[in-house]
Amino acid sequence: MTKLLSMNRRHFLQTSAAGALALTPGLLPGRALAQNALTVGFIYVGPKDDYGYNQAHAEGAAALKALPGVTIVEEENVPETVDVQKTMESMINLDGATLIFPTSFGYFDPHMLAMAAKYPDVQFRHCGGLWQEGKNPMNTGSYFGYIGQGQYLNGITAGYTSKSKKIGFVAAKPIPQVLQNINSFLLGARSVDPTITCQVIFTGEWSLAVKEAEATNALIDQGADVITCHVDSPKVVVETAAGRGAFVCGYHANQSPLAPEKYLTGAEWAWGNVYSDFVKKAQTGEKLGNFVRGGLKDGFVKMSPLGPAVPAEGRTKFDATLAKIMTGTFSVFKGPIKDNKGNVVVAAEKSFAEDAIELESMDYLVEGVVGSTA
Amino acid sequence: MTVEVNTSAMSIASERPSVLRPTIEWLARRAEPIAISFGAILIGLALFSVFILVIGKAPTTLFQLMYTGGFGSWFSIQNSLSRAAPLLLTALCVALPARLGLVIIGGEGAVVLGGVASAAIALPFIGTVPALLVLLLMAAAAMTVGGIWIGLAGFLRHYRGVNETISSLLLAYIAIALMNQFVEGPLRDPASLNKPSTAPLPAEYMLGKIPGMDVHWGLAIGVIACIASWVLIEVTSYGFAARIAGGNVRAAQIQGLPVGRLIVGFTAIAGSFAGLAGMIEVAAVQGSANASLAAGYGYTGILVAFLARHNPLAIIPVAILLGGIDASGGLIQRRMALPDATVLVLQGTLFVVILFCETFYGRFKIFNPDLWKRSA
Amino acid sequence: MEATGIGMWGVPLAIFAGAIRVSTAFIFVSLGETITERSGRINLGLEGTLVFGAMTAYAVAVRSGSPWLGVLAAMGTGAVFGLIHGWICKWPKVNDIAIGIAMMQFGLGLAFFLGKPFIQPAAPHLPSIPFGAWSGLPQVQAALNINVLFILGGLLALFLWWAFRNTRIGLVLRVVGDSTDAARAMGINPDRVRLFATAVGGSLAAVGGAYLSLYYPGSWNEGISSGQGLMAVALVIFARWNPIGCFLAALLFGGAGALGPALQSVGVTQGYYLFYAAPYVLTLAILIATSSPTRSLTGAPGALSLTK
């Protein structure tokens, strides 16, 4: 016991890094790849197989397992408290991780920043949009995907499929990312039929199965026949909606196995591409980007294959819009746009590209959305 | 001749050296809780090992990792201490009323409301008042709000006969809803777009770390609170009255003890400790109040209190032990590919076994010197 | 058929439908706890039993393809949990309230642990009877689409109410619950009766869990329960240990739980967290209003440690 206690931290790092190297699969002495060996840490706020947010990240991490010289360590169900700081430290000290991905929003401040200050040789990349040049250290950074356009495409399929002209959205909390998704969903549907309205219900929690089921039922009771959501795990919403005979659009990951007949399409993350890119750069010693973003065009986001219920004209419009998005010339928030209280929020001559900074502080629901942000 | 009852005891006592026998008796009595607690922990670990074997993993690896992750290095020890810090206070929230015979399990509610109150009260004073004063103000606010919340459960118990276990639990759920409403509504910092929080505390106003350690001052505050609680219960007459009331309420009332005031007072003190834990979470870790306050410290505190048999001094080592188990959970997840629920199963098993072993108190003659004399 | 929104009527209809949907789990758990408490023992560990029952039912349904087999398996595991709780509690000096909390932790941990492989697969659901087929409105049809377990729960409540009064077993149970000594004097073994009662209580609680995972919300994940097991204990006290009271209390609680989303769907969107707290506030208010510090609660079993 005293022997362990007398080890100082550097010795520990050396021995554990050596240990991690020895554990890395495929690493035999003498192979030239030895210097590219990398241990990458992933931290999830929920379970890895939640058919949603965390699963999308875990699938991205799984894509790394095929890369030579890469070891992944993952930990799930880590709350956004001092626990995640200790988890990061544990991965750095005991597993020898030099690249950490804390994937939940609340990990950034103060937890990841505190760890980044303490371990300047380790790279941290956070999923979100919070990194600021000059304010945050250079061994940290943000990566995120523009998934709003994915919800727009969801909305297009909803527009062609809805018979009641009412669509529904089960949302967790009224934060800008979620509001952007709600608005994009409606705008996509309205591009097909301008009379469509979207009702939104906020559950108040990122993951609460009973509330999500209640919200879905309430939306369908009010006449919505296409439902999508922004909660951590869409499984309950998808199954409940499909069980009531409504159509569903997926989010985060591909939920079509849960409701193959009713699933129209879904906006999914493609984190595997993002993570592979980071890892390759880390292995070759290239500098990792600090503010990495991309949408459908850059392969950060992808759409699920279209389900059987989408009519042919819907497919045509979907494909055409997707093609336009891929050229980078499409924008969802093109003026004039009013919010659902009557104020003009996007002036007639303005148009916001997907990476426009103004979208990051969205606090309104567009006209046609039934619901309120507070 | 007088009847020779128990003279054998007296004769033995007068034959042996006068110090040895009482010392042995004292040791025997004191050894009972330690021996039974340790025995219970061993039995619990043994059962858990069987479980691990059944699912095809090696218990020895698991215990090694638990040790490494919990206590095997200075980093691990600090990890365990950090996790133990809030548990010290939330366990007091269960242990203090328990000495009165009340089972309060709603400490989580006091934690979150204490956190919100402390964040709210700090806001107008930032920049104008020195940091130490702001922190004291925050602590006072948190302790007041937490004390009122749990004190309410005690009040309802004595004056309305409402079972305090259930009322404190209901109050906890209500408190979490209130916290969410405040943090997302009136107290929300407009800049906290994607994670609704109160306005952040500037770094100068935050509770720092204990010099030389990577653990914040909350640990020291918790230890002091435990010691103070022990003094309250074991030394003061207030605590003495409470223990009597805990033993038999009717007898206490007959004696004229103010049972109602004792109950409300003790539950209020208990709640104030939990509220303080919330304030520390805001001031030392998060920097603001948000949904992460509901991290389950209140519920883990229940386990700590029962394992420590509601003795405030014993809470200190038990909290560190549980902090260590929690700390090793991550390592177990990563190295053995076991789900995080493994630690929950271990904690639950230990909890059940230790509570079960309560029945062994008084059963073993070796611990009860009064029974030794029969064999003389 | 064109689906139409039904405006303000959505709220009472949603409360009605929600009351049925959400209450079924509470009905079974509270009926189980009523049996246990009538015998003089309190089991606070039902939350763990419920979640474990949910996991077992889901897992067995996935593997076997039959939801009813899942319910049966859940009843089995619930009985085991109840037996463990009952056996431990009969030893002297064991605090049964604390043991309940411990079993809750244990049950939750074990359920999450063993349930990991079942988060993804989809299980067949329990059937429901469409009582609303007469209506042209899909909302009414959906609201009156009552699941079989709800009906079984109602029948069970009636049966238990009758059985407590009119059968020998009911009498034995009540005697044991009112006074341990009187039971012994009658030649009944109170420990064995309580053990049995706790086992039955556990198995009913597990059925409540099976309902959650196999009907509504109809999925297994770690967030499936929002405290139903613990709330049910409160409901039992509120219902004064009367099975029919439990049924009605569960309906009340379920309806209050559906209030939040229903109000949002008709545009009442302010302060939705407070609406989500409505069931808890309601339960607390009713408990306060109906309790008294001096008189023991009417109908309380004398041997129950909760009320001593």
Residues 6+ apart with CB under 8 A from B5: none
Q: Is the pLDDT of residue A87 over 60?
A: yes
C3 in contact with B, Cβ within 8 Å: no
Shortest CA distance to A38 belongs to which of A255, A214, A275, A223? A275
pLDDT band at residue A27 under the 50/70/90 scheme: very low
Alpha-carbon gap: A86 to the closest alpha carbon of chain B (Å)? 6
Alpha helix stretches (DSSP H) within chain A = 2-6, 9-23, 53-64, 82-95, 113-118, 148-161, 176-190, 209-221, 235-243, 271-284, 312-327
Q: Find the largest Cα–Cα distance for chain B.
A: 92
Amino acid symbol at A81: T
The count of other CB atoms within 10 Å of the CB of residue B211 is 6
Of C274, C277, C292, the CB nearest to B161: C292
pLDDT at A30 over 70: no
Task: Please list the rounded mean pLDDT of every run of 10 residues in chain C (308 residues).
Answer: 54 81 91 93 91 94 91 96 92 84 90 87 83 75 83 93 92 89 89 93 95 87 78 83 92 82 73 80 85 66 63
Q: Is residue B354 a contact partner of residue B40, using CB atoms and an 8 Å limit? A: yes
Helix (H) or strand (E) holding A263: strand A263-269
The span from the CA of C234 to the CA of C224, in Å, is 20
Token pair for A159:
């527009």
CB contact under 8 A, B287 and A110: yes
Q: Do C264 and A202 touch (CB under 8 A)?
A: yes
Sign, CA torsion A355/A360/A365/A366: negative
Highest mean pLDDT out of A91-100, A187-196, A197-206:
A187-196
Q: How many Å apart are CA B202 and CA C178, to the nearest integer?
A: 60
Q: What is the mean pLDDT of chain B?
A: 86
Instruction: Give the model's confidence band at B156: pLDDT under 50 very low, under 70 low, under 90 confident, else very high.
Output: very high
Residue A38 has pLDDT above 60, yes or no: yes
Structure tokens at B101: 């015979």
What percent of chain A is modeled with pLDDT above 70? 90
C-alpha span between A216 and C214 (Å, rounded): 17
Q: CB neighbours of C202 closer than 8 A, spacing ≥ 6? A: C32, C36, C43, C46, C49, C78, C79, C80, C81, C82, C83, C85
Whether C130 contacts chain B with CB within 8 A: no
Residue C263 near residue C11, CB atoms below 8 Å: yes
Q: Is the pLDDT of residue A16 over 50?
A: no
Q: Which two tokens stand for residue B77?
A: 């020890």
Q: What pLDDT is recorded for position A264? A: 94
Q: Residue C281's closest chain B neighbor by CA?
A: B174
> Which residues sit opposite A301 in a β-bridge?
A269
Share of chain B above pLDDT 70, in %: 94
Task: Tell which residue, B326, B84, B71, B98, has the closest CA to residue B221.
Answer: B84
**For residue A287, pLDDT beyond 60:** yes
pLDDT for the residue numbered A351: 87
Q: Tell me, what's the pLDDT at B7?
A: 52
* Distance from C-alpha of B167 to C-alpha of C44, rounded to nearest angstrom: 14
Cα of C9 to nearest chain A Cα, Å:
10
What pLDDT does B12 receive?
53
Interface contact flag, C3 A199, Cβ < 8 Å: no
- C286 or B42, higher pLDDT: B42
Instruction: Quote the pLDDT of residue C3.
Output: 39
AA letter at A155: G
> What SS3 class is residue C35?
helix
Residue B160: half-sphere exposure toward Cβ, Cα within 13 Å: 17
Backbone angles phi, psi at B126, to 5 degrees: -70, 130
pLDDT-based confidence at A50, cuts 50/70/90?
A: confident
Q: By mean pLDDT, which of A196-210, A233-247, B8-22, C278-292 is the weakest?
A: B8-22
Q: pLDDT of A260-269, one tens digit each?
A: 999 999 999 9
Report the range of poorest mean pLDDT among A50-54, B155-159, C95-99: C95-99
pLDDT tens by residue, B77-111: 988 998 899 999 999 999 999 998 888 989 999 99
At residue B332, the pLDDT reads: 86
Using CB atoms, pick whichever of C102, C237, C287 lies closest to residue B351. C102
Q: Which two tokens stand for residue C103?
A: 């079993």
- Quote the tokens at residue B287: 């920097």
Q: Which of C99, C109, C230 sits opposite B341 (nearest CB)?
A: C109
User: Do C169 and C40 form a contact (C-beta atoms < 8 A)?
Assistant: no
Choose the closest CB to A77 out of B73, B83, B340: B340
Check if B286 contacts A (Cβ < 8 Å).
yes
- B165 chain-C contacts, CB cut-off 8 A: 44, 97, 306
Amino acid at C195: L
C234 contacts B170? CB cut-off 8 A: yes
On the question of pLDDT at A25 being above 60, the answer is no
How many CA atoms lie within 13 Å of C115's alpha carbon, on the beta-carbon side?
A: 28
Contacting C residues, span 193-222, partner chain B, CB-CB under 8 Å:
none
- Choose the weakest-confidence range: A210-214, A349-353, B26-30, B137-141: B26-30
The set of chains that have 3 or more CB pairs under 8 A with A is B, C
The pLDDT score that the predictor gives to residue C136 is: 75
Mean pLDDT lowest for which of A72-76, A110-114, B183-187, C7-11? C7-11
The pLDDT confidence band at residue A24, using thresholds 50, 70 and 90, is very low
- The Cα A36–Cα A282 span in angstroms is 8
DSSP H stretches of helix in B198-340: 218-234, 237-247, 249-255, 259-280, 297-307, 312-336
- What is the value of pTM for the model shown? 0.84
What's the pLDDT tens digit per position in B301-310?
Answer: 988 998 888 9
Q: What percent of chain B has pLDDT over 90?
A: 32
Parallel/antiparallel/unpaired status of strands A301-303 and A263-269: antiparallel
The more confidently predicted of residues A304 and A36 is: A304
| Identity of the residue numbered A246 | A
Those residues whose C-beta lies under 8 Å from the C-beta of residue B99, and which sit 6 or more positions away, are B233, B239, B242, B243, B246, B266, B310
Residue B19: is its pLDDT beyond 80? no
CA distance C220 to C58: 7
CB-based contact C293 B161, cutoff 8 Å: yes
Torsional sign, CA B221, B223, B227, B229? positive
For chain C, positions 253-292, list CB contacts with chain B under 8 A.
271, 273-274, 276-277, 280-281, 283-284, 287-288, 291-292
pLDDT of res. C10: 67
A214/C257 touch (CB, cutoff 8 Å), yes or no: yes
By C-alpha distance, which of B317, B322, B326, B287 is closest to B302?
A: B322
Would you say how long chain B is, in residues? 376
A323 and A296 in contact (C-beta within 8 Å)?
no
Compare all CA atoms of chain B with the CA of C222 and give the residue at the minimum distance: B341
β-pair type (C128-130, A126-127): unpaired
Residue found under tokens 């005991």: A94
d(CA C225, CA C48): 10
pLDDT for the residue B150: 96
**Residue C8: closest CA among chain A residues belongs to which residue?**
A222
Residue B223 predicted with pLDDT over 80 = yes
Q: How far C130 CA lies from chain B's nearest CA (Å)?
A: 35
Q: What is the pLDDT of residue C206?
A: 95
Q: How confident is the model at residue A35 (pLDDT cuts 50, 70, 90)?
A: very low
Cβ–Cβ contacts within 10 Å for residue B370, how many?
Answer: 10
Task: Yes or no: say if C238 and C286 are a contact pair by the CB < 8 Å rule.
Answer: yes
B73 CB near a chain A CB, below 8 Å?
A: yes
Using a CB-CB cut-off of 8 Å, the residues of chain C touching A212 are 217
Tell me whether residues C265 and A372 touch, CB distance under 8 A. no
Q: In this predicted structure, which of A19-33, A156-170, C52-66 has the lowest mean pLDDT? A: A19-33
Residue A161 has pLDDT above 90, yes or no: yes
